[in-house]
Structure 1
Amino acid sequence: MKFKHYNQQQTVLLPYSFDDLIPEQHPVRVVDYVVESINIQPLLKAYSKEGNPGYHPKMLLKVMLYAYMTNVYSSRKIELALRENINFMWLTSMTIVDHNTINRFRSNKLKDSFKEIFKQVVLMLASEGLITLKQIYTDGTKIEAQAGRYTFVWGKSIKTNKAKMLTQLEDLWNYAQSIDNDDNPDPEPTQFKEINKEVIEQTVAKIDAKLSGNEKASSKSKAKLRYIKNNFVANLEKYEQQEAILAERNSYSKTDTEATFMRMKEDHMRNGQLKPAYNTQISTENQIIVHYTIHQNPTDTKTLKPHLENFEKTFGKETLQQLKEITADAGYGSEENYDYLQEKELTAYVKYNTFDKEQDKNYQKKNKPFSKENLYYNQEEDYYVCPMGQKMHKTHQSKRTTEAGHTQSLSHYQAKNCESCPLRGQCFKAKGNRSIERNHNLERHKQRTRELLLSETGIQKRKQRTADVEPVFAQLKHNNGFRRFSLKGLEKVELEFGLMALGHNLRKKIAA
């Protein structure tokens, strides 16, 4: 049989060049071109002029971008690629970097300058005509943290445990008072409204004085006192430390204290369990990630304002003023967000929570004409009219603060005579005359939003949103397998997602 010549020991007159082995249109060349085109001066500030020379940050940046572009996220796997993958070898000119150096570069050196690098690449894509930065589509998804799935710390549990401590202390104090031989018992050392170190120490000292040497004191009460002495102060200090970590959140993970437990769509046990995660928000145009932020709050409503504020901080006021339109789903529809978007003069194609239901004819018929949304309102004289034609005049104004800290102004209206109304049973069930409350500012925003969303442009925007921002998450999570962060902590997680986002943008640049 005949075969082509094969000899592993065959020498060549001229050694092979890596450049000859890399195709001209290969993605690794795009990474090289982009990094060579941007200003890495902000990255150089992370390095000291003293000490031994380090690996060039430009080389390490190329390695990190190409790694995330090709779905290689582990520092050990990146090190292995530098030894075995010809594309990585071409980027580094055969320089081998160990995984610790790679991890330090990603976690420490890159963190302060990466947003600037990301911004430069986005502006480069804008200059090439791939995006305009005049409209964005915003959405969010939850990505699991690199933390133990069952290492819960809950804010409600801490409050419950502190309340139990207070109850146990009060019960033991009352018991000590009841068996005290003194005819003139001491007044209570505290009103037991709030537990703290001083309350514990003072109460324990007085209880100890009453129980010690008292023949009526049971061994069980003395055992409880010993337990309180040995554990309550330490437990209280632990709870206070946990509350400091929680801040305004309701939970965190012991193995990544900056991760919050959230309900995930991708549930490994398929029973709706909460898992430690981060809320990732992105704004896209033409499926290119224009901006990204990471949040500890699971509710999208509270993320839109800080997301856009960070956009302004990263790109500057001029770029934000250039932005004209934003499109998002009903998770972002709140009075606070509408006020903010109006202040920034952004045309908001942002649904409110009942918009989709209102488009259903069955929903429109239900509760009509008795629901307060369908009552006639006279704006000039400021009154509502009930289905029987009775005027509901304004009685008073009130203020309400939302969970996000936004103050709402509410107007209250009440009818004067509902006792003999034949429609009373269908209209409302409460006693007395029917009353309603209305947030006129929110209703104004909803009316404006309804007009925008039902317009020809609004319908097109709603269709485009599902084809613009949502496929990006599908690409990142399903096609690229990025379902869980590799790093811990909010700052490092944001950097890791930024690398993933920039890798995605470079893939879009290649496909354009």
Structure 2
Amino acid sequence: MKRKVVWKTNSQAQLSLLPPSYDDLVPEHHPVRIVNNILDQIDITSIERTYKGGGTSSYHPRDLLKILVYAYLRNLYSSRKIEQALGENVHFMWLSGCIRPDHNTISNFRSGKLKGKFKKIFNQVVILLAEQSYLSLKDIFVDGTKIEANANRYTFVWGKSIKTSRTRIENQLKSLWRYVETVYAEEEQMPNQPDSFKAIDPNEVSQTIDKINKALQGKDIDKKVRQKLNYAKKNWPKNIAKYNTYEQQMGGRNSMSKTDPDATFMRMKEDHMLNGQLKPGYNLQAATNNQFIANYTLARTTTDTTTLIGHTEDFIAGYGKPPETLTADAGYGSDENYTYLEDNNIEAFVKYNYFHKEQLDEKRSKHKKPFAANRLFYNNETDTYYCPMGQPMENIGSHVKKTATGYQQKINRYQAKNCTGCQLRSLCHKSQGNRIVERNHKLVRLKAMAKQKLLSPEGIAHRKQRCWDVEAVFGNIKHNMDFRRFMLRGLDKVETEIGLIAMAHNLKKVSLAM
């Protein structure tokens, strides 16, 4: 016998004497309550000062800040979708107190009012979480990841291309002047040569073209030369001005996007065409502890090596003191970085290039290059290296090498006295004369110290933690939060946006821990 189905009733048409409270509809430990409670404790005076007053009333910046942070926590990054959620989502209604700012207000607050001011708010939240023992600011783990910019992938400018175009214009100006010389070859009076053919200043290029035109005025010249001069007068000064603008916007970088000049073309792991192409983006640097983001910075360089000092300086500026320990992978191991960390009394567990290869070779007791410079015996007292045959290699001088950041390295050179007839010469070196090796003694010392720390029990523990600490944060941001591309353009604006992502990540971690 079939049993009677009992349906649950609803009260859609039932009138109530008192409407339900939104507070009753929000669970006690819901993330929206955490966002509300923590941001109520934060000083936002710096944002309040940006409001001039007068005219119509304004939405309070604290309310707008709560809305944005919670929206990012819920993977809502579009201002229009946030506006829609404020009218449909109970949690947004409770958090906002039923205010309904439109998408323009939300967007202007995010890209305008928060610009340059959000970092201090983020630091306050991190300090509050550290006081509650969610994370520690003493030990940090640093790594970087690249995030695509909100820019056209195909409107690129390359620094090398600009140099090539300048050189081409310079060569064509010289070629045109050589044509002038051939025209006047049989005449006694030769016009004065232009002061410069350098394609740097658009006015100077224009003057050079005018001088060539004046020299050829009234002469029977080739039609193609006349066409080239007309084209040059019309386009070359304009192109040089454009190149100058691009170089100023690039600021020493090798590339940029026309739609977001602050973005640099980088090779991304997330490749929509699966062909390893370059895309405009920013290099996000993050310092984490217990999978909480303690600090973030955005770099416009493709490598991590040159970002560590600026990132650490930003950490010190935000919290008033440096961390006690810093752990990073081999991308940050350099003479300049080791020196900086040593000078600031930061215990560094930072790998250098070939660290893992060295360990593997030592484990196998096999070296592919047994006669490499780092395998030679060095006598510190006499400042002498010894070749594989025991022949002394004396110091023959030194030179200073300057890195891309301006850091100076002292390189010492050592030369063997006589390699002629040596049985090991073919294995030892390929140069024609006596072997010369170059050594940076400071870097050798710093690498030896780094190796000792990395192989200690404490160093092994730090290296193991780095993998699941900082890299897990990037995985959460890109995959769980689905944030792989910025919504805004310009370095100042994307710094605010990644700050909102970082704060949303931290507060989501707090909600999961409760």
**TM-score, normalised via structure 2 length:** 0.96
Residue of 79, 101, 119 corresponding to 2:105: 101
Residue of 296, 301, 310 corresponding to 2:300: 296
Residue of 58, 68, 72 corresponding to 1:64: 68
Whole-angstrom CA distance in 1 between matches of 2:11 and 2:381 = 95
Contact 1:369–1:387 under 8 Å retained in 2:
no
Whole-angstrom CA distance in 1 between matches of 2:419 and 2:84 = 79
Q: Structure 1 unaligned segments of length 5 or more: list them.
A: none
| Structure 2 residue aligned with 1:359 | 359
What is the identity, as a one-letter code, of the residue corresponding to 2:214? A
1:426-460: CA deviations, max 9, x gaps?
Answer: 11111110001100000000000000011111111
Whole-angstrom CA distance in 2 between matches of 1:202 and 1:94 = 66
1:329 aligns with 2:307: no
What is the identity, as a one-letter code, of the residue corresponding to 1:284? T
| Structure 2 residue aligned with 1:209 | 214
Whole-angstrom CA distance in 1 between matches of 2:91 and 2:504 = 16
Whole-angstrom CA distance in 2 between matches of 1:5 and 1:134 = 57
SS at match of 2:40: helix
| Structure 2 residue aligned with 1:138 | 142
Q: Which range is displaced more, 107-116 or 143-152?
A: 107-116
1:496 aligns with 2:497: yes
SS at match of 2:295: strand
Label 1:126 to 1:7 Cα distance change in 2 as closer, same or farther (>3 A): closer
Label 1:409 to 1:364 Cα distance change in 2 as closer, same or farther (>3 A): farther
Contact 2:42–2:125 under 8 Å retained in 1:
yes
How much has 1:133 moved relative to structure 2? 1.2
SS at match of 2:164: helix
What is the identity, as a one-letter code, of the residue corresponding to 2:216? L
1:276 aligns with 2:277: no
What is the identity, as a one-letter code, of the residue corresponding to 1:156? K
Contact 2:191–2:215 under 8 Å retained in 1:
no
What is the identity, as a one-letter code, of the residue corresponding to 1:52? T
Note the aligned Cα RMSD (angstroms). 1.5
Label 1:414 to 1:212 Cα distance change in 2 as closer, same or farther (>3 A): same
Contact 1:305–1:337 under 8 Å retained in 2:
yes
Q: Which range is displaced more, 134-143 or 117-126?
A: 117-126
Pairs within 5 Å for 1:387-466 = 387-466=388-467
Q: Structure 2 unaligned segments of length 5 or more: list them.
A: none
SS at match of 1:478: helix
| Structure 1 residue aligned with 2:82 | 78
| Structure 1 residue aligned with 2:470 | 469
Whole-angstrom CA distance in 2 between matches of 1:475 and 1:157 = 38
Q: Which range is displaced more, 166-175 or 198-207?
A: 198-207
Whole-angstrom CA distance in 2 between matches of 1:154 and 1:120 = 40
How much has 1:316 moved relative to structure 2? 1.4
1:32 aligns with 2:36: yes
Q: Which range is displaced more, 111-120 or 128-137?
A: 111-120
Contact 1:349–1:461 under 8 Å retained in 2:
yes
- Percent of residue pairs identical: 50
SS at match of 1:32: helix
SS at match of 2:210: helix
Whole-angstrom CA distance in 1 between matches of 2:32 and 2:260 = 34
Whole-angstrom CA distance in 2 between matches of 1:5 and 1:332 = 63
1:92-121: CA deviations, max 9, x gaps?
Answer: 222111000001111111223311211111
Contact 2:199–2:205 under 8 Å retained in 1:
no
Whole-angstrom CA distance in 2 between matches of 1:104 and 1:200 = 43
What is the identity, as a one-letter code, of the residue corresponding to 1:366? H
Whole-angstrom CA distance in 1 between matches of 2:179 and 2:151 = 45
| Structure 1 residue aligned with 2:94 | 90
How much has 1:6 moved relative to structure 2? 4.4
Residue of 125, 129, 147 corresponding to 1:125: 129
Contact 1:31–1:65 under 8 Å retained in 2:
yes
Contact 2:116–2:492 under 8 Å retained in 1:
no
1:242-274: CA deviations, max 9, x gaps?
Answer: 111111111110101111111111111111111
Contact 1:166–1:195 under 8 Å retained in 2:
no
What is the identity, as a one-letter code, of the residue corresponding to 1:324? E
Q: Which range is displaced more, 446-455 or 355-364?
A: 355-364
**TM-score, normalised via structure 1 length:** 0.96
1:180-205: CA deviations, max 9, x gaps?
Answer: 25233234323535543354234323
Contact 2:75–2:482 under 8 Å retained in 1:
yes
What is the identity, as a one-letter code, of the residue corresponding to 1:95? I
Whole-angstrom CA distance in 2 between matches of 1:156 and 1:368 = 36
1:36-69: CA deviations, max 9, x gaps?
Answer: 1222222212222333220111211111111011
Contact 1:134–1:324 under 8 Å retained in 2:
yes
How much has 1:207 moved relative to structure 2? 2.1
Contact 1:253–1:276 under 8 Å retained in 2:
yes
| Structure 2 residue aligned with 1:188 | 193
1:197 aligns with 2:202: yes
Label 1:4 to 1:300 Cα distance change in 2 as closer, same or farther (>3 A): closer
What is the identity, as a one-letter code, of the residue corresponding to 2:226? K
What is the identity, as a one-letter code, of the residue corresponding to 2:12? Q
What is the identity, as a one-letter code, of the residue corresponding to 2:503? L
SS at match of 1:413: strand
What is the identity, as a one-letter code, of the residue corresponding to 2:348? A
1:4-52: CA deviations, max 9, x gaps?
Answer: 4446332112211111111111111111111112222222122223332
What is the identity, as a one-letter code, of the residue corresponding to 1:377? Y
Whole-angstrom CA distance in 1 between matches of 2:140 and 2:472 = 14
SS at match of 2:447: helix
Contact 2:397–2:414 under 8 Å retained in 1:
yes
What is the identity, as a one-letter code, of the residue corresponding to 2:496? L
SS at match of 1:137: strand
